[in-house]
């Protein structure tokens, strides 16, 4: 786990994948950063690689992550993504093992090591509780728990309060310092509210924002919903999370 980046719950990850880029992505990132600062929500944005040096200098509070890195070291590797390069471009971390960019356990371990050597935090994706527990043993900064079949559906994360608590407890038994994002299918501010209100430290959205009629309005509503749901939680619930971590 790279400890040079401080991420405090609640947090919201904005993943544009290949839905948008350039000026439109910058506009959405600036709005997300502004609302995150206003609401006290840590925003994490993982744009196209070429947009990292455009977006990162404009962020006041949001962290920019690369959508992936490879395990290569400086040298040969045409077409590969070098950890040091994205760090120099302004990235604070990297997303690894997304269902659309799956890694073997060996390659994941190597990529996480390279991220740590380059000074990058790691956000590692897992399909379910069992997968997340295995990932927790590798000590990433953040684990993203999302069922592959729910990604891109806009149908909501579908995780009950009991399920979130059970998954989190299993992960924290392995690594009490890891942060946990529950996502997959987050299509509206209501979905965001439900998963955070249900106990999640963080959530995120891709198609829910970037396929919306008004992405700017949608991302603002989602980030505000994170704060509203966090405030609505019982104090004991929030304190329990801090004790578990």
Q: Judge contact between 225 and 204, C-beta under 8 A.
A: no
> Could you say which of 98, 182, 194, 220 is catalytic?
98
> Where do we find the tokens 């077409």?
79
Counting Cβ atoms within 10 Å, is residue 5 exposed (0-12), middle (13-18) or buried (19+)?
A: middle
Q: What gap in Å lies between CA 57 and CA 122, rounded to an integer? A: 20
239 is catalytic: no
Active site residue 231: no
How is residue 76 written in tokens?
Answer: 């040969």
Closest-CA residue to 101 (of 138, 67, 137): 67
| Residue of 13, 68, 146, 182 marked catalytic | 146
What CA dihedral angle connects 94, 95, 101 and 105, to 10 degrees? 90
Active site residues: 98, 146
């Amino acid at each position: 786990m790279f400890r040079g980046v401080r991420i405090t719950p609640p947090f919201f990850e904005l993943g544009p994948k290949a839905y948008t880029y350039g000026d439109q992505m910058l506009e959405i990132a600036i709005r997300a950063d502004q609302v995150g600062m206003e609401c006290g929500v840590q925003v994490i944005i993982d744009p196209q690689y070429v947009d990292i040096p455009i977006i990162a200098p404009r962020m006041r509070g949001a962290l920019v992550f690369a959508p992936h890195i490879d395990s290569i070291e400086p040298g040969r590797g045409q077409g590969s993504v070098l950890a040091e390069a994205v760090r120099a471009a302004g990235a604070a971390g990297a997303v690894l093992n997304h269902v659309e960019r799956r890694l073997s356990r060996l390659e994941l371990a190597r990529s996480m090591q390279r991220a740590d050597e380059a000074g990058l935090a790691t956000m590692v994706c897992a399909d379910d509780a069992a997968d997340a527990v295995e990932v927790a043993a590798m000590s990433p900064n953040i684990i993203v728990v999302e069922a592959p079949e729910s990604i891109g559906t806009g149908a909501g994360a579908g995780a009950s309060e009991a399920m979130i608590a059970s998954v989190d407890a299993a992960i924290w038994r392995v690594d009490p310092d890891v942060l946990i994002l529950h996502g997959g299918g987050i299509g509206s501010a209501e979905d965001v509210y439900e998963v955070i209100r249900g106990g999640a430290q963080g959530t995120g959205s891709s198609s829910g924002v970037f396929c919306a009629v008004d992405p700017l309005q949608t991302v603002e509503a989602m980030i505000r919903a994170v704060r509203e749901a966090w405030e609505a939680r019982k104090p004991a619930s929030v304190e329990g999370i801090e004790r578990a971590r």
